[in-house]
Amino acid sequence: MDNITIKNMILNHYINNSASKDYIMGVNMNGNIYMVHVTDEDLKDITRVESAGHNDGYTLRYKPNNTIRTYLLSKGATVLCSTLYFEEMVKASKYNKGEVFERLVTEWYGQEWYKDNINYRVQGDITIDGIEYQIKYERGGFISEGQIRREREERK
């Protein structure tokens, strides 16, 4: 299978099984960290597949280049903080960039953030006005072929 076929298979599985159809994506550009709201329809344009390792095949990942960053910012973005402040937060934290971004978004919306591992099929990372959102920062993974295989085995 070529990468486009693999990407479409993984993306379709994710979209068909996700509790959320809306996403808040983190963008690091021009010295700022932005959040941008997107939907399922945008995922094919802003994600890619790459080797997952650990016998997990390929993984669907949000790994934007400057063209994708510019596209996302054109959809209407909100500045959360400076890149410098964000990097200082990450350095001072035990959490990774994705988790720190998720915390910033959650607090932006006046909610208390806590680390959880709730499956994407159960609920989003945050609920805003009754809408479930998954939150992803640059280099964030969605799902791998190995995870899909394990989900299918669970259903048997």
Query: 26-63, pLDDT tens digit by residue?
Result: 999 999 999 999 999 999 999 999 998 778 899 999 99
> Would you kindly state where each structural domain of the chain is located, as residue ranges?
3-155
Q: Which residue has the tokens 């989003």?
A: 124
Q: How many CB atoms lie within 10 A of CB 21?
A: 15
pLDDT (0 to 100) of residue 54: 76
User: How far apart are the C-alpha atoms of 138 and 100, rounded to whole Å?
Assistant: 12
Q: How many CB atoms lie within 10 A of CB 10?
A: 24
Whole-structure pTM value: 0.94
Question: H/E element holding 104?
Answer: helix 97-108
